[in-house]
Amino acid sequence: MADRQKYLISKNIGRKVLMIGVFYKNNAPGGMAAVIQYYEKYFEVLRYTSSWKMSNSFIKLIYVICAYLKVFIILLFDFRVRLLHIHVAADGSFWRKSMFLKLGKTFGKKVIFHVHASRFKDFYNESEKRSKIIENLKMADCLIVLSESWKKWFIDIGIHKDNIQILHNITEYPDIADKVLDENGKVRFLFLGELGDRKGVFDILRGLNNNKEELKGRMELRIGGNTNEEKLISFINENGLSSFVKFEGWVAGEKKKKLLNWADIYILPSFNEGLPIGILEAMSYKCPIISTAVGGIPEVVVPQINGTLVTPGSDEEIILAIKKYVSNPSIIDKEGAASQVMVGDYLPDFVLVHLNKIYLKMMC
């Protein structure tokens, strides 16, 4: 596997591409960071400039200024660079990355704008600078989006279809261990993500609180994530959920693999998404998915095939989905097997071969 990984994006190609995005080292949180972590394993040479890091406002400002100067110097002196691959989200990320987009075009480079934003639609619809957003998007030589539904949306706001490429989010090859069944027959659910309203974790907890007498002893939920930890722990303890709901803290590396092997069902009832890496990871570990029909999720989670889709914010529908698996655990293996088959197009061999073709086409 190591030799194959090394050459999915060759040194010859990698040296011509300058990638710009968030800080991703040391298991940094966030879907964009996870994508770059996976890319690094399969690029023989990854030339990367980090333009943003979680910190206070002053450090963030210094960070982006230093990144801009670094990119400027590279473009000024390194004539090998032919292409900028810029990873972008919404809000401040979009406007920061637009500076790098314009810098690249000033130096006559081809530029990819790779849009990861879960809330880009809200950002665009709520902005008073929609024409400026469109102008910047059209300046890119290629707009990479995560799914067919996102491509359609960008076409609808005025981006030409020929300038848009769908590139699937990437997930790693799973490290699957033999599953040890719960000795009491409990069905095991896993949530990994930001511990805020957007990802729906408190909708799950409210539903469990309203049905705890029926569900405790029959299921277990483990939660991994960051932000709002105290609020989450307080809710669990104050509502008597601690016997079957466990908080795992921030989850990465071997701990994440262990939990994905432990889980029977992955649950992420988000209000908005691009295409969550967590869902793809869980699918590769043979988990059925409970999620919502937002962003690109309906393209990988198909009801009655490999999961269940619920309405964002509906704790009643979330609990009905949980009860479906608790009451009929025989469907878990069938839907989990379907998940593993469906995620094949999101593994490195597929995604990075496609990315390599995009690079080669743009460098012609």
- 158-200 tens-digit pLDDT: 999 999 999 999 999 999 998 777 778 899 999 999 999 999 9
CA distance 190 to 219: 11
- pLDDT value for 26: 85
For 306, other C-beta atoms within 10 Å of its C-beta total: 23
Q: Report the C-alpha gap between 111 and 139 in whole angstroms.
A: 8
**Number of residues that this document lists for the chain:** 364
DSSP 128: S
Contacts of 64 (CB under 8 A, 6+ apart): 51, 52, 96
Q: Give the separation between CA 285 and CA 171, rounded to whole angstroms.
A: 11
Cα–Cα dist 349/313, whole Å? 36
Question: What 8-state DSSP symbol labels residue 303?
Answer: B
Contact 150, 228 (CB under 8 A): no
Examine domains 2-170+347-363 and 187-345 and report if their fold is the same: yes
CB 228 within 8 A of CB 250: no
C-alpha span between 251 and 256 (Å, rounded): 5
Instruction: Tell me which residue of 1, 6, 340 sits closest to 176, measured CA to CA.
Output: 340
* Residue at token pair 């974790």: 201
Question: Which pLDDT score is estimated for 28?
Answer: 87
The pLDDT tens digits along the chain (364 residues) read: 444 455 799 999 999 999 999 999 988 888 899 999 999 999 999 999 999 988 888 989 999 999 999 999 999 999 999 999 999 999 999 999 999 999 999 999 999 999 998 899 999 999 999 999 999 999 999 999 999 999 999 999 999 999 999 999 999 999 999 877 777 889 999 999 999 999 999 999 999 999 999 999 999 999 999 888 999 999 999 999 999 999 999 999 999 999 999 999 999 999 999 999 999 999 999 999 999 999 999 999 999 999 999 999 999 999 999 999 999 999 999 999 999 999 999 999 999 999 999 999 999 8
Domain 2-170+347-363: which CATH class? alpha beta
Q: Distance (Å, rounded) from C-alpha 173 to C-alpha 43?
A: 16
User: Residue 286 region, left (φ>0) first, then alpha (ψ -120 to 50), else beta?
Assistant: left
Q: Where are the domains of the chain?
A: 2-170+347-363, 187-345
Separation between Cα atoms, residue 285 and residue 306, nearest integer Å? 12
User: Can you tell me the distance from the alpha carbon of 83 to that of 46, in angstroms, rounded to the nearest whole number?
Assistant: 13
* CA quadruple 239, 241, 243, 248: dihedral sign: negative
Return the CATH number of the domain spanning residue range 187-345.
3.40.50.2000
pTM value?
A: 0.92
C-alpha triplet 83, 87, 88: angle, nearest 5°: 130
Burial environment of residue 118 by CB neighbours within 10 A (0 to 12, 13 to 18, 19 or more): buried
Name the helix (H) or strand (E) containing 351. helix 348-363
Tens of pLDDT, residue by residue over 211-233, are: 999 999 999 999 999 888 999 99
Q: If you search the block for the tokens 């590396």, which residue do you land on?
A: 253
